[in-house]
């Protein structure tokens, strides 16, 4: 049970921000690339855009989508939307157009704030939508004063979409009061107001962005908005982090960078490190404790209860729990009948209090199922779907998921969502999607597909048009049948254990079979490994040998085909960053993430790209000498 702290029910975020603008004035509010924006300038720019929104007939209670490249304009737009009394809907430009279209249609958004990239995306779906578009650039000449809508704590602040088991993402309705309480909770737990700056590393569509942007600004911190180029380069990211006090990051993202000396140096300079979004391994904590004196916190909470609901200071701990609830938040451990369990018993983690959101947008039945009344709570209780128990000291443990909802690099994913998209493809009879459980593939998604005709590359391409990249399985495997448990359900445990043994052996066919505890049997010979070529193309040049070696290390494989794409071999964007860091360390050549994706996503093409980069840095005399040596 947390301490009760009354939050003024008349308070709105725009009211809190007006007070912050008054207090901080000329202080730097945002740093983006080499640009600094003061609180005063941020306020004036938000006022101008708010005037444009009013001109566009946006009013209290409307939904306004934000479809922008990563820049300070995202924060300007959020504040402008709040000032007019509307709610903002963050949209990621990297999402497939079909997902964006669903979000815009489902939310019934009144208007989209866009830049050139956002307008281009809208062009592909504009015929399906009846929304107006406001360009940020068109607000620059408007009046810099604006009378804010007063607002109330019960008003909708933002609508954020999460993965849904039906194949369609669902919107979570977060109010001003929810965010105001979260802001107060972070102020009490972390006391960020005594620090200078916080990095903003996550995307606008990840709800923890609220902490590293809105909450950071409300507490007077300078937000260092990390650019896309900085996020995808170890050297640039470490440089960007060298000037901040607070970093919030997921364990997966942190893990792949922990062995990089430049990242270790950046971590050593931090005052506070917030780790959350998925399970925080003790091994990662020990590494952190060895490289930084920063205060380290484990953060826990679902989107439905406003970013983080519990916090544990693990700076000097040797084990990790999810800690204690923040102010005005209560944790209940309930059984299958929603009966509260005594301390120590395992049940479902349920959360009540001021952070519990208003439910799902236009999903009355789903809201009623997950947001319940309970006699032990003074407000609605959200059923998280996580297993947990209470500790004697009043803290809590999280023991994993009850259902098949998982966290992938901090993003909440319904495995059924991915399965429904794969089943929608022609000739697919069955599919099972699992998170692999054996090292070195632990935490990666794998899809096992029963299909009369199977082309993993084509399937992956079709999925990319409807699912964000973090929901596309790293491994897509063809099987003759799915293993079943005795009660007739797909044995996901057997699937999760199957692929690593085949991949690590470097084969696509074997007579070995895999058994689970309930005796389902699946023959390795029934699997066609899309990620492994039966006759792999091997390295032919010295530079290909070096690149091939780095690829194998990052992908944890004994061998890869030099003509297969990184993502088809199980690579992810996070692993790509690790790969490029390894190349820079070994070869002294920096390859940008965008060049890697567009020009160097196979061993062969990456080798050619690096050769071009080497030649571009050579003098004419060096090039002539090189050509002469090859004659």
Q: Give the least confident one: 151-155, 233-237, 399-403, 465-469.
A: 399-403
Q: Give the pLDDT score at 370.
A: 95
Question: CATH class for domain 542-630?
Answer: mainly alpha
Return the structure tokens found at 547.
């690149």
Count of other CB atoms within 10 angstroms of residue 565: 15
Which of the four pLDDT bands, split at 50, 70 and 90, describes residue 629?
A: low
Q: Give the pLDDT score at 623.
A: 64
Query: Quick one: how many helices (H) and strands (E) in the chain?
Result: 21, 28
Q: Report the sign of the C-alpha dihedral through residues 419, 387, 323, 258, in that order.
A: negative
Which of the four pLDDT bands, split at 50, 70 and 90, describes residue 298?
A: very high
Return the structure tokens found at 607.
């080798």
Q: In this predicted model, which residue has the larger pLDDT, 16 or 584?
A: 16
Per domain, the residue ranges of the chain are 13-390, 406-529, 542-630
Predicted confidence (pLDDT) per residue in 2-27, tens digit: 556 655 555 799 999 999 999 999 99
262 neighbors 234 (Cβ within 8 angstroms): yes
C-alpha distance from residue 90 to each of 69, 87, 127, 225, 410 (Å): 11, 10, 21, 16, 17
Q: Give the pLDDT score at 29.
A: 98
Q: Which residues contact 585 (CB under 8 A, 6 or more apart)?
A: none
Query: Would the pLDDT of 140 be above 80?
Result: no
Which of the four pLDDT bands, split at 50, 70 and 90, describes residue 524?
A: very low
Which of the four pLDDT bands, split at 50, 70 and 90, describes residue 42?
A: very high
Which of the four pLDDT bands, split at 50, 70 and 90, describes residue 499?
A: low
Which of the four pLDDT bands, split at 50, 70 and 90, describes residue 166?
A: low
State which of 52-61, 156-165, 305-314 shows the largest mean pLDDT: 305-314
Confirm whether pTM is higher than 0.95.
no
Query: Would the pLDDT of 529 be above 50?
Result: no
Residue with tokens 């506070």: 272
Can you point out the beta strands (E) in 208-262?
A: 222-225, 246-249
Q: Give the pLDDT score at 78.
A: 97
Which of the four pLDDT bands, split at 50, 70 and 90, describes residue 535?
A: low
3-state secondary structure of 586: helix
Residue with tokens 């620090």: 195
Cα 109 to Cα 127: distance, rounded to the nearest angstrom: 15
Which of the four pLDDT bands, split at 50, 70 and 90, describes residue 343?
A: very high
Q: Give the least confident one: 267-271, 403-407, 475-479, 501-505.
A: 501-505
Query: Would the pLDDT of 501 be above 50?
Result: no
Q: Which of 247, 337, 235 is nearest to 288 (CA)?
A: 247
Cα 584 to Cα 590: distance, rounded to the nearest angstrom: 5
Predicted confidence (pLDDT) per residue in 603-621, tens digit: 999 998 888 888 777 767 6
Query: Would the pLDDT of 508 be above 70?
Result: no
Query: Would the pLDDT of 486 be above 50?
Result: no
* Superfamily classification of domain 406-529: ANL, C-terminal domain (3.30.300.30)
Return the structure tokens found at 3.
């301490």
Cα 239 to Cα 226: distance, rounded to the nearest angstrom: 10
Q: Give the pLDDT score at 526.
A: 35
3-state secondary structure 92-137: CCCCCHHHHHHHHHHHCCCEEEECHHHHHHHHHHHHHCCCEEEEHH
Return the structure tokens found at 173.
């309705």
Predicted confidence (pLDDT) per residue in 84-122, tens digit: 999 999 999 988 888 899 999 999 999 999 998 998 888
| Residue % of the chain over a pLDDT of 70 | 86
Cα 438 to Cα 444: distance, rounded to the nearest angstrom: 10
404 neighbors 492 (Cβ within 8 angstroms): yes
Q: Give the least confident one: 180-184, 320-324, 368-372, 422-426.
A: 422-426
Q: Give the pLDDT score at 69.
A: 94
Query: Would the pLDDT of 465 be above 50?
Result: yes
* H or E element in which residue 90 lies: strand 87-90
Predicted confidence (pLDDT) per residue in 224-247, tens digit: 999 998 988 888 999 999 999 999
Question: Which neighbouring-strand residues pair with 173?
Answer: 159
Write b or e for each residue in 436-469: b if 16 or more Cβ atoms lie within 10 A of its Cβ, otherwise e.
Answer: beeeebebbbbbbbbbeebebeebbebbeebbbe
CATH number among 3.40.50.280, 3.90.1150.10, 3.40.50.12780, 1.10.10.10, domain 13-390: 3.40.50.12780
Which of the four pLDDT bands, split at 50, 70 and 90, describes residue 509?
A: very low
Long-range contacts of 501-504, Cβ-Cβ distance < 8 Å, separation of 24 or more: 501/438, 502/527, 502/529, 503/441, 503/475, 503/529, 503/531, 503/532, 503/557, 503/570, 504/557, 504/558
Q: Give the pLDDT score at 126.
A: 61
Q: In this predicted model, which residue has the larger pLDDT, 574 or 196?
A: 196
Q: Give the pLDDT score at 542.
A: 86
Q: Give the pLDDT score at 37.
A: 96
C-alpha distance from residue 51 to each of 46, 54, 81, 145 (Å): 9, 5, 10, 8
Q: Quick check: bond before 323 cis, omega within 30? A: no
CA 40, 46, 47: angle at the middle one, nearest 5?
A: 90
Which of the four pLDDT bands, split at 50, 70 and 90, describes residue 151?
A: confident
Cα 226 to Cα 232: distance, rounded to the nearest angstrom: 10
Predicted confidence (pLDDT) per residue in 408-431, tens digit: 877 878 787 788 788 888 788 788
* H or E element in which residue 614 lies: helix 603-616
Q: Give the pLDDT score at 130.
A: 57
Cα 608 to Cα 614: distance, rounded to the nearest angstrom: 10
Cα 490 to Cα 588: distance, rounded to the nearest angstrom: 48
For the chain, give the mean pLDDT.
84
Which of the four pLDDT bands, split at 50, 70 and 90, describes residue 154?
A: very high
Residue 161 has what DSSP assignment? Answer: E
Over residues 264-274, the mean pLDDT reads: 96
Q: Which of 128, 186, 180 is nearest to 155 (CA)?
A: 180
């Amino acid at each position: 049970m947390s301490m009760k702290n009354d939050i003024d029910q008349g308070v709105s975020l725009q009211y809190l921000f007006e007070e912050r603008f008054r207090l901080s004035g000329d202080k730097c509010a945002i740093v983006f690339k080499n640009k600094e924006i003061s609180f005063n300038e941020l306020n004036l720019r938000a006022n101008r855009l708010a005037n444009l929104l009013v001109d566009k007939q946006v009013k209290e209670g409307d939904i306004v989508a934000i479809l922008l490249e990563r820049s300070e304009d995202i924060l300007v737009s959020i504040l402008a939307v709040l000032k007019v009394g509307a709610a903002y809907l963050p949209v990621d430009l990297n999402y497939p157009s079909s997902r964006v279209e669903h979000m815009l249609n489902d939310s019934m958004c009144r208007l989209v704030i866009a830049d050139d990239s956002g307008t281009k995306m809208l062009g592909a779906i504009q015929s399906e939508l009846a929304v107006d578009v406001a360009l940020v650039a068109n607000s620059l000449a408007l009046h810099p004063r604006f009378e804010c809508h007063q607002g109330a704590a019960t008003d909708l602040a933002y609508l954020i979409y999460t993965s849904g088991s039906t194949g369609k993402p669902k919107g979570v309705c977060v109010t001003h009061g929810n965010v105001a309480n979260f802001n107060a909770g972070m102020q009490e737990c972390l006391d960020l107001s005594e620090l200078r700056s916080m990095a903003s590393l996550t995307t606008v569509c990840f709800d923890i962005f609220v902490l590293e942007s809105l909450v950071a600004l409300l507490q007077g911190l300078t937000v260092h908005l990390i650019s896309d180029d900085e996020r995808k380069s170890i050297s640039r990211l470490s440089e960007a982090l060298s000037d901040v006090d607070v970093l919030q990051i997921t364990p997966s993202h942190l893990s792949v960078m922990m062995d990089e000396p430049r990242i270790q140096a950046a971590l050593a300079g931090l005052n506070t490190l917030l780790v959350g979004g998925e399970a925080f391994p003790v091994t990662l904590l020990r590494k952190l404790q060895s490289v930084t004196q920063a205060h380290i916190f484990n953060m826990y909470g679902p989107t439905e209860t406003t970013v983080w609901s519990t916090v544990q200071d693990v700076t000097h701990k040797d084990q990790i729990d999810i800690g204690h609830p923040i102010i005005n938040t209560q944790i209940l451990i309930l059984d299958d009948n929603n009966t509260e369990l005594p301390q120590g018993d395992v049940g479902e983690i349920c959360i009540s209090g001021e952070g519990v959101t208003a439910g799902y947008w236009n999903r009355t039945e789903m809201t009623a199922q997950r947001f319940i009344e309970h006699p032990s709570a003074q407000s609605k209780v959200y059923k998280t779907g996580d297993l947990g128990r209470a500790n004697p000291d009043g803290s809590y443990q999280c023991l994993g998921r009850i259902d098949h909802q998982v966290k992938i690099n901090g993003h909440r994913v319904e495995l059924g969502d991915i399965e429904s998209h794969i089943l929608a493809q022609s000739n697919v009879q069955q599919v099972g999607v699992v998170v692999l459980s054996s090292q070195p593939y632990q935490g990666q998604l794998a899809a096992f597909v029963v299909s009369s005709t199977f082309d993993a590359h084509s399937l992956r391409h079709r999925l990319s048009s409807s699912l964000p990249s973090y929901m596309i399985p790293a491994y897509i495997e063809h099987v003759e049948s799915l293993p079943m448990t005795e009660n007739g359900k797909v044995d996901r445990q057997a699937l999760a254990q199957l692929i690593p043994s085949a991949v690590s052996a470097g084969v696509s066919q074997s007579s070995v079979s895999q058994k689970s505890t309930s005796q389902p049997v699946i023959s390795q010979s029934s699997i066609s490994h899309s990620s492994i070529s039966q006759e792999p193309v091997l390295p032919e040049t010295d530079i290909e040998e070096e690149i091939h070696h780095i690829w194998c290390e990052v992908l944890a494989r004994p061998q890869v085909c030099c003509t297969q794409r990184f993502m088809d071999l199980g690579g992810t964007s996070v692993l790509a960053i690790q790969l490029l860091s390894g190349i820079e360390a070994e070869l002294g050549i920096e390859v940008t993430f965008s060049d890697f994706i567009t020009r160097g996503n196979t061993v062969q093409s990456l080798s050619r790209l690096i050769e071009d980069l080497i030649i571009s840095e050579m003098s004419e005399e060096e090039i002539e000498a090189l050509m002469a040596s090859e004659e």
